[in-house]
Structure 1
């Protein structure tokens, strides 16, 4: 009799656990505002069951990951039934892959011990020397010395290292971006008043190039000679690995949503394409400019990869101590 009772209790617990697993529908990746699910506050990392009802406040925002790997963004004030949100999604073939990189987001924004693997991931990236940077110059480029590109476009950024340049950045009127082949033959150059520039390999001058050099100079007549070092951009060689990476990148995340770009950024960063990861982070911020989460994640990324002025100068000062 006792054995039978224990069996019934175990069966009930198993059924209850299965029911709970079936009811779990979404995990919260990003959140803004005092939104609730069945009267409970929604936070990053929260799990939403099929029976929950979400109440969004004015100006609120939620980025949700479904168990099938699909993502949903909620931006409009109102009431949403979780089961209806789930039913509106299509089946996905990339559930585990999307969930993996989405969970990195949760691990970075929460201190939950169950997500500690995400923290270890970034520690490992630093130990293995994922970012290689040369000496600082009067004009310092934020990207690595040599960048391998997966796609055709890469945005470069730079800043005037005032201590080395002996000028104030406010005194600079124009910069010139110069692109050359490996023999230093100029392919083309352009001037800009910005401190960023998009290099596009589909341009006629670059379409036949596999590897190029580039530098940034101050174009003002009275400041000639103030420039960055030459840096390298190489197109990734065609291979089965590159094909697989592109296919996976196409499968995870949606280019039209902030959350989709964030997941792509996480994927690109782990694969070592930091320059393109930065572009995906920026796309996420542009699509949701009022959501602080995306700004925090981008700042963390630039600190990890030393792709910000603050991180580079801090590293330089600590090295000189």
Structure 2
């Protein structure tokens, strides 16, 4: 009798577990929102509600994209999808358009990107990124010392006290000897580690100053280009990721690449991919917001 009762209890517990798993599977997202610029709504019950950044969209949901809106989505299989045309879309139909091919690495970093957005407020992040900069100095958006994976990175800085200034970008070796100086009329420049002036350097030190106001200058920032041996563990997963993303020239896929670099603590490479995303979709404010969010959560504006 006791054995029969024990069997019934075990059966009941297993039944509850299976039911819970079935319910969880039924609630799995189909798409997640990576970027939104403008207004998009989704049907929740009998009411339309605003689509928010980082939100999950489920099977049977209906999304309405308003005029002049950009909606960037990541499918659960890792594929990305951009909606720009005004209209109403069924999530199940959109899911069928991206196919069933599983992209495990892309999905992993899309999920990690969305996770990083969960507690972010666009207005707070943007304002904080601006306020964190000392009014009396140039601030390069880098940590004090950073490893670099790729040959090319984009450096950007902010000078709160002046606008439309010419700047001097100075590169020094680890012995504090100046090895290159570049004058630019923008607040960014491209640094290429294959350049003969720095190609043989194990580490370079970069700083920026105003050409007109010499007291407007940045701190020194150390940048170390990874050797092939150091880069090898990262390179393999990156190769898999690049094989999976639908279009490496897609701004959304640049966000996923940025997430990959951020998770591997390669912040200069991550920032460069945010720059690429902005350049690929310059009319979409959401990518500039994403850039500011990255700077804020990594403390690069302080």
Same fold, TM-score > 0.5, yes or no: yes
Report the CA distance between 1:150 and its aligned residue: 0.7
Hey, what does 1:232 align to over in structure 2? 222
How big is the shift at 1:149?
Answer: 0.4
Q: Secondary structure at the match of 2:98?
A: coil
**Equivalent residue runs for 1:22-37 within 5 Å:** 25-31=30-36, 32-36=38-42
Q: Check the 8 A contact 1:181/1:211 in 2, yes or no.
A: yes
Q: 1:26 to 1:186 in 2, by over 3 A?
A: same
Which of 66, 70, 84 in structure 1 is aligned with 2:75? 66
Please name the residue that 1:189 is paired with: 181
Counterpart contact for 2:29–2:56, Cα < 8 Å: no
Runs of 4+ with deviation above 6 angstroms: none
The alignment partner of 1:148 has SS state of strand
Describe the SS at the equivalent of 2:71: strand
Other-structure match for 2:190: 198
Please give the residue correspondences for 1:81-230 in structure 2 after superposition, counting only pairs within 5 Å. 81-95=90-104, 97-110=105-118, 138-160=137-159, 168-170=161-163, 173-220=165-212, 223-224=213-214, 227-230=217-220
Listed as ranges, the matches of 1:2-81 within 5 Å are 17=22, 21=26, 25-31=30-36, 32-36=38-42, 40-41=48-49, 43-44=51-52, 45-49=55-59, 51-81=60-90
Unaligned 5+ segments in structure 2 are: 1-7, 121-133
Q: Distance in 1 between matches of 2:175 and 2:187?
A: 26
Deviation at residue 158 of structure 1 after TM alignment: 3.1
Deviation, structure 1 residue 199: 0.8
Q: Is the 8 A contact 1:35 1:60 kept in 2?
A: no
Q: Which residue of structure 2 aligns with residue 250 of structure 1?
A: 242
Q: How far did 1:272 drift?
A: 0.8
Classify 1:84/1:190 alpha carbon distance in 2 versus 1 (closer, same or farther; 3 Å).
Answer: same
Matched residue, 1:318: none
What CA distance in whole angstroms lies between the structure 2 residues aligned with 1:192 and 1:183? 25
1:211 Cα shift?
2.2
Indicate the SS of the match to 2:146. Answer: strand
The residue that corresponds to 2:129 in the other structure is none
SS at match of 1:35: strand
Secondary structure, counterpart of 1:155 in structure 2: strand
TM-score (norm 2): 0.70
Question: How many residues align structurally?
Answer: 269
- Distance across 2 between alignment mates of 1:224 and 1:80: 55
Q: Unpaired segments of 5 or more residues in structure 1?
A: 112-117, 119-134, 162-167, 313-321
Contact 2:30/2:56 (<8 A) preserved: no
Deviations 1:291-311 (A, max 9, x none): 554444332321222322xxx
- TM-score norm. by structure 1 comes to 0.67
Structure 1 partner of 2:4: none
* 2:274 counterpart residue number: 281
Residue 271 in 1 paired to residue 277 in 2?
Answer: no
Between the aligned partners of 2:176 and 2:35, the Cα distance in structure 1 is 46
Task: Please give the alpha-carbon distance, in whole angstroms, between the structure 1 residues aligned to 2:258 and 2:82.
Answer: 17
Q: Which has the higher contact order (CA 8 A, sep 6+)?
A: 2
The whole-number CA distance in structure 1 between the counterparts of 2:184 and 2:172 is 18
